[in-house]
Every structure is written in C-alpha cells, then in structure tokens.
Amino acid sequence: MQNVKIVLASSSPRRRELLGIFGLPFDCVPAVGEEKTEGYASCEALTEGLARQKALEVAAKADGDTVVIGSDTLVELDGAKLGKPRDEEDAFRMLRALSGRTHRVCTGLCCVRGAAVLSGVEITEVVFRELSDGEIRAYIASGEPMDKAGAYGIQGKASLFVEGIRGDYFTVMGLPLCRLGTMLKELGVELL
C-alpha cells in the first residue's frame, strides 16, 4: 500500500472491526469537539454533517498525507431521529416503536486528505418483526443496546429481530464499506 497514514475519527469498536477487515494499519483518534446539530433538515443531512465535523476536526491536527475517516449513524422512524438511548427506559421506548415496523438507518461518511474532502450518506431500510415486551427487556438486560443508535446492533443479539434489510448491511453497523472503498480510491488509497 501507499505510504499513507489512515486515521479513523471514532472510538466505535464496530467501526474499528470493519475497517480492520482490510488488514491495513490505522489509528483511532476520536473527535472530541461538541457536535453541532442545528440547521440540518433531515437525517441524511445531519449524519453527513456530523461525519464531516468529526473528520475535519481530526484532520486539522494531522499532516496533509493522512487520510481521516469520519462517520455518524442515526436511526429514523416516521421522521424522528433515534440516536443512542439515554437509559434503559429510553431504549425500551425506541425498541417498542421499532417493533413490527420498517425504519431507516442513515450513516454519514466523510474522508479527508489534505484539501480534498469527500462526503456522502448511505441509507438502509431495516424491517423488524413484532417484539414482545419480554424480548425487549431481555435484550436491554444484555447491555448491548446502550451504545447504539436506535438501541440495537444488527450484528449482535438484535439480529433475532431483523426480518430483512434493503441496502448496505454495513451502513447499519456504522461504516458503509462499499462507499468508503470508493471514496478512499478517489483519494489514492486502494483497499485491495
């Protein structure tokens, strides 16, 4: 691979795992600035904007040949944006609302190398089966939903809730790999 340093502007274990698939060395440097969420009219605009904020913040401290990857994920149901739950009751409320419904997962992605800034958003529809209150409570008791947008992780125990998806599975996990590969290639980084 080229002599390019890659930095993931995230502390998400799922994003680290996904980027690690390619066997390339990278560092994790989470953005620490306050997220500015005002002025975004849609879930798509908000996640793309937050991904840009993260990537640009970290890139401002990096050298010009470093590629910084920022990402942000939200779940959207009936126009309402569902981030990470505040507590177990918030998680219950979210999962009860998602039960038996189709929702959208929006993941914004931004890659920065020097003056080049590429960003976009991927959207995947996820269909949940009907969930009983007991199933929701048992899932919450596992601790798994507490650090995830929409209070679930598709790659974990919540896979039992998912009847189907339309779109990129990795978008739901928080790092749309196909889109990322295209952006990195445009910035001169080949993943294969």
Q: Under 8 Å CB-to-CB from 185, ≥6 apart: which residues?
A: 191
- Structure-token pair, residue 94: 């979210």
User: For the residues 110-122, what does the mean pLDDT come to?
Assistant: 96
Task: Please identify which of the residues 27, 65, 72, 90 carries the catalytic annotation.
Answer: 72
Q: What is the DSSP-derived secondary structure letter of residue 62?
A: S
Q: What is the CA radius of gyration of the chain?
A: 17
The structure tokens listed for 130 are 């009907």
Instruction: Tell me the per-residue pLDDT of 8-50, one tens digit each, with 9 for 90 and over.
Output: 999 899 999 999 999 889 999 999 887 887 888 899 999 999 9
Tell me the average pLDDT across 57-83.
93
The residue-averaged pLDDT of 138-148 equals 94
Classify the C-alpha dihedral 111-178-152-123 as positive or negative: positive
* 3-state SS, residue 133: helix
Average pLDDT over residues 114-129: 97
Annotated catalytic, 78?
Answer: no
SS3 146: helix
Judge contact between 114 and 157, C-beta under 8 A: no
Q: How many CB atoms lie within 10 A of CB 45?
A: 14
- Measure Cα distances from 160 to 108, 154, 156, 174 in Å: 26, 9, 8, 19
pLDDT of residue 84: 92
Residue 133: CB atoms within 10 Å: 11
Residue 1 scores a pLDDT above 70: no
Does the reported pTM lie above 0.85?
yes
Domains and CATH numbers, the chain: 5-186 (3.90.950.10)
